[in-house]
């Protein structure tokens, strides 16, 4: 199977499995999505979705967020982990949004990545899911599966993102990255992985993954 055939197989299989791709993080606008994605670092979407309603009940926009102290934010978000860094980031980026962007989340990678605690992956999620701008955020699931499928070297997430963007059609990036995440969670996890249940890897994966 050629690499282009592998890509077509992945796209077609994922489209059959996941014709709809709801965003896993609960939010109502670009700001609440940005905060939710920031909170999801080294945590789970399910855990974040239990905490964001508590935070957003007090502050669901930057103007209300800066009325809270960093300590108050940290106390609310503590269950998601890394709360000292994340609370400072949330407060800091909210202040910058007010001071530099009229309280609005900017629609550029450069401006987003200049915000405290916002890295390239977080910026990519916001660009793709809040604004519909093509991006390919790479999380641990995508990084793992691109390697298992023989579509990337697996050296680092930067290389994986480059490979994904090179191989997959640009117009499919925003939906496809979610489809791969859903597939990774359901059929190709890092732990407790059963190749027989993982039809994509079983069909196109690297030789060493074959049973």
Give me the residue label for tokens 């609370």: 87
Phi and psi dihedrals of 143, rounded to 5?
-60, -45
At residue 149's C-alpha, the angle toward residues 206 and 198, to 5°, is: 95
Torsion of CA 44, 45, 47, 53, to 10 degrees: 150
Dmax of the chain from CA atoms?
57
Is 139 one of the annotated active-site residues of the chain?
A: yes
- Grouping H, G, I as helix, E, B as strand and the rest as coil, residue 63 is helix
The pair of three-digit structure tokens given for residue 60, joined into one six-digit string: 């669901």
- Grouping H, G, I as helix, E, B as strand and the rest as coil, residue 55 is helix
Is 71 one of the annotated active-site residues of the chain?
A: no
At residue 14's C-alpha, the angle toward residues 122 and 141, to 5°, is: 40
Sign of CA dihedral 188, 150, 43, 29: negative
Pick the catalytic residue from 139, 163, 172, 198: 139
Pick the catalytic residue from 6, 121, 163, 198: 121
Residue 104 near residue 33 (C-beta atoms within 8 A): no
Residue 163 near residue 151 (C-beta atoms within 8 A): yes
Looking at the annotation, which residues are catalytic? Answer: 121, 139
């Amino acid at each position: 199977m050629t690499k282009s055939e592998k890509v077509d197989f992945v796209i077609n299989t994922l489209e059959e499995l996941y014709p709809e791709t709801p965003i896993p993080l609960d939010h109502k606008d670009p700001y609440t999505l940005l905060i939710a994605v920031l909170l999801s670092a080294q945590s789970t979407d399910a855990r974040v979705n239990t905490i964001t309603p508590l935070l957003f009940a007090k502050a669901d926009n930057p103007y209300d967020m800066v009325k809270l102290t960093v300590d108050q934010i940290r106390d609310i978000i503590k269950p998601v982990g890394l709360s000292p860094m994340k609370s400072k980031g949330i407060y800091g980026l909210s202040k910058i949004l007010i001071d530099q962007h009229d309280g609005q989340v900017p629609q550029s990678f450069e401006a987003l990545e200049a915000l405290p605690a916002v890295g390239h992956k977080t910026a990519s999620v916001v660009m793709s899911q809040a604004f519909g701008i093509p991006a390919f955020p790479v999380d641990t699931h995508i990084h793992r599966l691109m390697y298992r499928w023989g579509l990337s070297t697996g050296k680092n997430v930067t290389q994986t993102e480059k490979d994904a963007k090179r191989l997959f059609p640009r117009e499919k990036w925003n939906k496809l990255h979610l489809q791969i995440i859903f597939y990774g969670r359901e059929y190709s996890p890092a732990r407790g992985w059963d190749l027989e249940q993982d039809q994509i890897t079983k069909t196109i994966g690297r030789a060493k993954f074959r049973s």
